Structure 1
Amino acid sequence: MDTDKRKTRRTAANNDKTRAPDTPRSVDALRELAVRIGRDEAGLSLGGKAHTVLGRLLERPEEVAFRTITDLATALDVNASTLTRLSTKLGYAGFADFQSVFRDSLAQRHRHFHTHQAERLVAGKKARAQTPVDGATSPEVHVVAQLARESISNVETFLARLSAADLRDAAALLADAPRVRVHGLRQFSALASFLCYGLGMIRTDVALLDVQGLGVAEGLAQLQPGDVVVVSSVAPYTRSVAEAAVAAAAAGMIVIAITDTLASPLVPPARHAFLIPHESSFFTTSMGAYLIFCEGLLNLVATHLGKRSLQALSRRERLITALGIETD
């Protein structure tokens, strides 16, 4: 055991000597570097494919820490040599050196049970896919049950990496900004409408960015620095949504992104980016985890607003009653 410890210490020392001085020593530092690379602020260019691979690795730190390079390459549908080149490009001695950063970071957070958690993550994914759900007695029910399991897995994944500080700040911004605009197209137009409707129930001056179909430029022109623009898109990303996020940030608006990975083009211009996975057997992007995240974010905004949200809801109910909109 003592020999193994000495060997590990020697390997770590050798890696430290081989690494460039500014090579990230933690997963958090790697995440920051990925964002800076996306913003062209790092003095390092990975190329689109390598940047995407890095983003996907940072989504699954437990797997990177404990799976072999071959297993990871298979899971990401790339060659093992791609992971080795990425590691050296980032300044590490090789993939093992790169992997040690994930192991060290996890050890700091999960001193006694990180190995168990990582093994359960890898094994649990297969178990969820193979274990029938109660009531799944027909092929039709099985299809729905499988989608439900996959959505639950996506929710568990985004919950594991949520930042309390980011949530608090984003909720405060959405509550207190003079104006809020929400932008999403194609499938994510539905999510944008849902978020816009929920915010509009508890505060004023909330709208879709292009609510009248006059164009994004017209919508942004109505805003001022300090206003908030929420954007949402996932791979394959809608180019115009990414461009709107960049333009909004350049004009001084605060951008909040709801997207999928650190490689998303919505991340660089965003003050806060919330990464929600959508792995699913659904024939298009699975929206379940996104809706749950937005419901949680709306509740946080309502809590931050306090009495102001109650007053807004009460006023809304009075108008609904006066106009006879609802029926028993």
Structure 2
Amino acid sequence: MSADPSLSDRIAQAFPSLPPQLQAAARFVLEHPDDVALLSMREQARRAGVPPVTMTRLARQLGFADYAAFRDLQATALRRPSHTAEFSHRAGRLQQRKAQSGDGALATQIGWATAEHIAGSHDEAGTAALIAAATLIETARKVYFLGLRSCHAVAFHAQYVHGLFRDNGVLLDGAGDTGFDALRHAGPGDVLVVISVEPYTTAAVERTAYAARLGMEVVAITDSRVSPVAALAQASILVPTDTPSFFHAITPAFAAAETLIALVAARSGEQALNAIRNAEHQLDAFSTYWSRRPQRRKPKA
């Protein structure tokens, strides 16, 4: 589950001004809300990598009388019904019905975790963020897409699908480290769509900060309300990345990007339909996609 909305708001607003140890504690609270409600303060501090007194200092910094009041708020949120909790419940029942082991069990856990993350990022708050982001993109003069390392594929895919119905999209990617040169033509009226999750690529954060200084609006697909790109964004779409695998999950970011671009297309009317038809004709003219065509029979001699 996610942290209580009012608590999340307080942490997000206070985060930039917190000292490093309090930021570490605050990030733990946002990313492990169930642990806040269920574990002792000392155990939470150990897992966050801070002294126990830091958790008390964080609670007071956020306006609570003590850590008990801070913890009670999250415990109340934990007792509320959650749409995403149904997925974990079903995953538990599935594992009970079919006692799996080894590779099969691990694959099942990863699959269910991914499904839960996608559903969670499309809840009421997630949908509102997607709609807000789609509104920014719909009215933009140009839309720049940025994703580096593991997030590059998400940016590429989003720009590719966007390009099927609009010609104002630019992927910030290029040989010889020239990919960011396109930003020299950007400014107010343009939008940067940045995909970045922890560990955040330094260049992605720096380019996003540069875009904000240019007066561009920023749409961030990221994993935390206190991520460095979320702090610069007008619209932040949050996607969980934790997984039983050793590497963070990127599939939820793909799902968010696909939903976002689909919303823009749905708002774009007949112009989008005509553009997609033209794209289909062009792709067909070059036989882009393989198809089984009937072979011509050779004439008899």
Counterpart check, 1:85 vs 2:57 = yes
| 3-state DSSP of counterpart to 1:58 | helix
1:53 maps to 2:25: yes
Residue 71 to residue 214, structure 1, CA distance change in 2 (3 Å): closer
Other structure's SS at 1:229 match? strand
Residue in 1 aligned with 2:186? 223
SS in 1 for 2:221: strand
Map 1:1-328 to 2 at 5 A: 28-38=5-15, 40=16, 45-59=17-31, 64=36, 68-69=40-41, 72-73=44-45, 76=48, 80-102=52-74, 106=77, 115=79, 117=81, 121=85, 128=91, 132=95, 139-160=102-123, 162-215=125-178, 217-328=180-291
Q: CA RMSD in A?
A: 3.2
Check conservation: 1:199, 1:206, Cα contact below 8 A.
yes
TM-score, with structure 1 as normaliser: 0.75
Q: Percent of pairs identical after alignment?
A: 27
How far apart are 1:204 and its partner, in Å? 1.2
* SS at 2:113 equivalent: helix
List per-residue Cα deviations over 1:138-194 (Å, max 9, x = no partner): 633333222102212322332346344322221122222111111111111111111
Unaligned stretches of 5+ in structure 1? 1-25, 107-113
Structure 2 unaligned residues grouped into runs of 5+: 292-301
| Structure 1 residues 263 and 116: CA distance shift in structure 2, 3 A | closer
Q: CA deviation at 1:222?
A: 1.8
How many matched pairs?
288
- Which letter does structure 1 place at the counterpart of 2:107? V
Q: Which moved more, 1:248-257 or 1:27-36?
A: 27-36
Secondary structure of 2:206's counterpart equals: helix
**CA positional deviation for 1:201:** 1.5
User: How far is the alpha carbon of 1:71 from its aligned partner?
Assistant: 6.1
The answer on whether the counterparts of 2:198 and 2:223 sit within 8 Å (CA) in structure 1 is yes
Q: Structure 2-normalised TM-score?
A: 0.81
**Which whole-Å CA distance do the structure 1 matches of 2:97 and 2:160 have between them?**
35
Q: Is the 8 A contact 2:88 2:112 kept in 1?
A: no
